Amino acid sequence: MNIKIVRFISNYLELLKYGVVGVLGAGIHFFTMVLCVEVFGISSLISSVIGFSLSLVISFILNYKWTFSNRVDPQDGNHNRTTYFIKYVVVSLSGLLVNLITIYLMNDVFLIWYVYAQLTASFIVPIHNYFLNKFWTFNKKFKRSTT
């Protein structure tokens, strides 16, 4: 098969996997945020941080083990997993900053309902995070042996 076609399919599948993990993470983030605001009376910004934190851990595990598994060496051991996790956290924190700025501007400045603000952020942040994770966090190109 043509190398360009193989590369295209591989990139498409990687993006699809990232999307599945992202939808799950966004759902966890969103559900946790609404739960914290509506049930516990916590502010929308703090609630978003709580939802973000829970979704971060689950998303890292899924992206490490599934989405970007062809980019990580399973023989690396705990040290490199820790490095991947630290990079993932840095990317996620930058995404959280984008998320919080979006919520602040939409909810506190323009007085748009916090749920709409979070939905908007939920479309912006994954694009930001995907490219940083693909090209920085999981940039090591490890090719599994077929033997």
> If 0-12 CB within 10 Å is exposed, 13-18 middle and 19+ buried, where does residue 60 land?
buried
From residue 135, alpha-carbon distances to 53, 55, 112 in Å are 23, 21, 34
Distance CA 9, CA 83 (A): 28
Tell me the whole-structure pTM to 2 decimals.
Answer: 0.72
pLDDT winner (highest mean) among 13-22, 62-71, 138-147: 13-22
State yes or no: pLDDT of 144 exceeds 60: no
Q: What is the tens place of the pLDDT at every residue in 29-86? A: 999 999 999 999 999 999 988 998 999 999 999 999 999 988 877 666 666 888 899 9
The per-residue pLDDT for 26 is: 84
Share of the chain above pLDDT 90, in %: 65
The per-residue pLDDT for 1 is: 66
The per-residue pLDDT for 147 is: 41
Work out the mean pLDDT of the chain and round it to a whole number: 88
State yes or no: pLDDT of 16 exceeds 60: yes
State yes or no: pLDDT of 6 exceeds 90: no
The per-residue pLDDT for 3 is: 87
The per-residue pLDDT for 57 is: 94
| The pair of three-digit structure tokens given for residue 19, joined into one six-digit string | 């999307």
